[in-house]
Structure 1
Amino acid sequence: MGDWVFPAGPEYIPYVVAMVGALVCFEGIRQSFFDRLTPQAIKSKRLHLMKLGLTRKELLSLATDRDESGLLRRIPFFGSIPNKMRQAGMTMKPSAFLSACGFAVAAIMIIGSVAIGPLGAAAIAMISGIVIPATVVNIARKKRVARFGLQLPDALDQMTRGLRVGHPLNTTLVNVAATMPDPIGSEFGYVADQIAYGDNLVDAFGALARRIDQEDMYYLAVSVGIQHGSGGNLGKMLGTLAKTVRQRAAMRRKVKAISAEGRISALVLSLLPFLIFGGTSLTAPEYYPSVQDDPLFMPMAVAVVLLVAINFFALRKVANFRI
């Protein structure tokens, strides 16, 4: 009896996509009905929820209750979606979001297979049901984290002034939560709630840094931990950190302005091969079809695409600076 070989032709790609969509649907439905999470996902509008009647303990559970185990977290692409949704301030349950993505993939596969064929349906299903929703979450997360970084120096200055006039630390955190807009107002409110319910200062700021996953917030968490362990003037330390964060933000903007020409040049050079291909196809439609039967056409086309991709990533690396 010969060895069995798994068929891996392109005709099986739609079935693989459908299977992934079914797994995502199953995991989302399982989490919706059987997870031990609260029925709501993390909320970014903390003060609005307090007006709706939620207690501080319930609000705190929304920020800290997360299931760190399960099948979902072992999936490379989908495992980070719950954390990214939390960092983006989205109120939708991750399980409901993933279920919607899975249903979208399955529906597009069923309808598209009849209309345009299985391969085209698989491509559209992956883009519409997986790539686009994940991109939306990533963009929302990036905007919220960037907004948090812009608000952080002002929040630290406000805490510094409160500590200098003799207010306790928890009072200064509550003042920041009450006076500053989302996202920093909500996140500092969660820190105040954690401290009020028994967590120490270091753990509360460490949890905030992990929730936001922003570089300056990690600096704040480490600084608070060092000051808490060795003692010292917390107000002065926060003031110094606010100045440092503000200077780093100004340096980022300056570097971004200086490198604008390089980034535009990199974008133009990366798009130029595609523009040439499109222009040639429009002005001379028979140019590429006349040589596509040549044995060297496909290897050369693959080589060109790879070189264009390498050029894009190399130029992107050169034109982007991390401060």
Structure 2
Amino acid sequence: MNDPALLTIGVTLLACLLGVTGLRLYADGAAQRAALVARLSDTGTPHTTGRRRRFRTLDRRLRRTRFGRRLELRISATGLDLTPGEFVAAMTAAVAALWAIGQALLSPFFGPLCGLLGIWAALGFLGWQRQKRIEKFINQLPELSRILANATQAGLALRMALSMAADEMEAPAGDELEKVAQQLAVGTSLDDALGELAERLPSRELVVLVTTLVLANKAGGTVVSSLRNLTETLEERKETRREVRTQLSQVSMTAYAVPVIGIGSLLLIDNMQPGALDRMTGSGLGQFAVVIAFALYVVGFAVIRRFSKIDV
């Protein structure tokens, strides 16, 4: 122990060992933190494909804005494997393409109108995907309620019942319940986790189920009988919604057919009399008439869609 060389070598080896151990612990912690952030920070769809994300800079800037956060929430409800940056980039490219096509096929005045049509179509696509996923989730609610009732009757806690339902059910219910289970695993309260679920996929049926689960978790009581009664009610509402949707399918098709007929008439006129649209939009009165016509088509589409929506 009195040899300075041996003492120096021993201290050096000990420092190297501690350094390597510290670096390994740091790397493991960083990897776990990165995995947790990737799983919880994206309220959008889980990135299970492992593909390389594009437009990361645009995505980061969008997430700092209110519009970006709202867009991220809408994308998360659709189940699409997209980031806000990727969606905005794709929408910008589609708007530019429609702008150029409108100017080339119709007239320069129709370029901006076609660009606005591209924005409306992109946002409408998100809304359609979201509604489609909500409908599919609603159809799974009776089965979800049945699984929760059986699990709680077997003695499992509500948190464990939700985790078991997430493993057994298919998408979208399985994916959404997996998010709820992950939030519960990191300390989020059951009320907040289920509240975010109801916010992502808003529907009367889900609100009733969430309210039943929250009240049962707070006050206790006969949660099994409540869930079984709710299962029967959800089954009846499922059949009623299917009948109503079948009866109103023709009205829904009419809402989409009206603007298509209008745009088709413009193309037909320009084909029969080349240059007619240029002459029509060459004056202020013609441009005003075109804008009013497009506005009336939009109002007609919205009114017909409103008539076809019946709250069940």
Query: TM-score when scaled to structure 1?
Result: 0.61
Change (3 A) 1:104 1:214: same
CA contact (8 A) 2:44 2:83 kept: no
Aligned-pair Cα RMSD in Å? 4.5
1:21-53 residue CA offsets vs partner (Å, 9 max, x unmatched): xxxxxxxxxxxxxxxx9356357569x79xx9x
CA distance in structure 2 between the partners assigned to 1:294 and 1:311 by the alignment? 26
Task: Measure how far apart 1:165 and its partner are.
Answer: 2.9
Unaligned runs of 5+ in 2: 1-35, 51-59
State which of 216, 228, 237 in structure 2 corresponds to 1:227.
Answer: 216
Counterparts of 1:270-285 in structure 2, within 5 Å, are 270-285=259-274
Is 1:213 paired with 2:212? no
CA distance in structure 2 between the partners assigned to 1:291 and 1:94 by the alignment? 39
Change (3 A) 1:231 1:133: same
State which of 168, 182, 187 in structure 2 corresponds to 1:179.
Answer: 168
- Please give the secondary structure, in 2, of the residue aligned with 1:84: helix
State which of 115, 126, 142 in structure 1 corresponds to 2:131.
Answer: 142
Structure with the largest fraction of helix: 2
1:152-196 residue CA offsets vs partner (Å, 9 max, x unmatched): 211111111222233332332222122112221232233334444
Change (3 A) 1:178 1:43: farther
CA distance in structure 1 between the partners assigned to 2:94 and 2:250 by the alignment? 40
Q: Which amino acid aligns with 2:136?
A: R
Instruction: Find the counterpart in structure 1 of residue 71 from structure 2.
Output: 81
Task: Measure how far apart 1:205 and its partner are.
Answer: 1.8
CA distance in structure 1 between the partners assigned to 2:94 and 2:277 by the alignment? 34
Q: Which amino acid aligns with 1:83?
A: L
Task: Measure how far apart 1:320 and its partner are.
Answer: 2.8
Unaligned runs of 5+ in 1: 1-36, 53-66
Is 1:191 paired with 2:184? no
Higher RCO, 1 or 2 (CA under 8 Å, sep at least 6)? 1
Instruction: Find the counterpart in structure 2 of residue 263 from structure 1.
Output: 252
Is 1:204 paired with 2:193? yes
CA distance in structure 1 between the partners assigned to 2:91 and 2:280 by the alignment? 41
Instruction: Find the counterpart in structure 2 of residue 38 from structure 1.
Output: 37
Q: Which amino acid aligns with 1:225?
A: V
Task: Measure how far apart 1:257 and its partner are.
Answer: 1.4
Task: Measure how far apart 1:143 and its partner are.
Answer: 3.1
Instruction: Find the counterpart in structure 1 of residue 158 from structure 2.
Output: 169
Greater Cα radius of gyration, structure 1 or 2: 2
CA distance in structure 2 between the partners assigned to 1:140 and 1:267 by the alignment? 16
CA distance in structure 2 between the partners assigned to 1:236 and 1:150 by the alignment? 21
Q: Which amino acid aligns with 2:200?
A: R
CA distance in structure 1 between the partners assigned to 2:222 and 2:275 by the alignment? 75
Query: TM-score when scaled to structure 2?
Result: 0.63
CA distance in structure 1 between the partners assigned to 2:293 and 2:172 by the alignment? 45
- What number of residue pairs does the alignment pair up? 261
Instruction: Find the counterpart in structure 2 of residue 242 from structure 1.
Output: 231
State which of 61, 65, 69 in structure 2 corresponds to 1:72.
Answer: 65
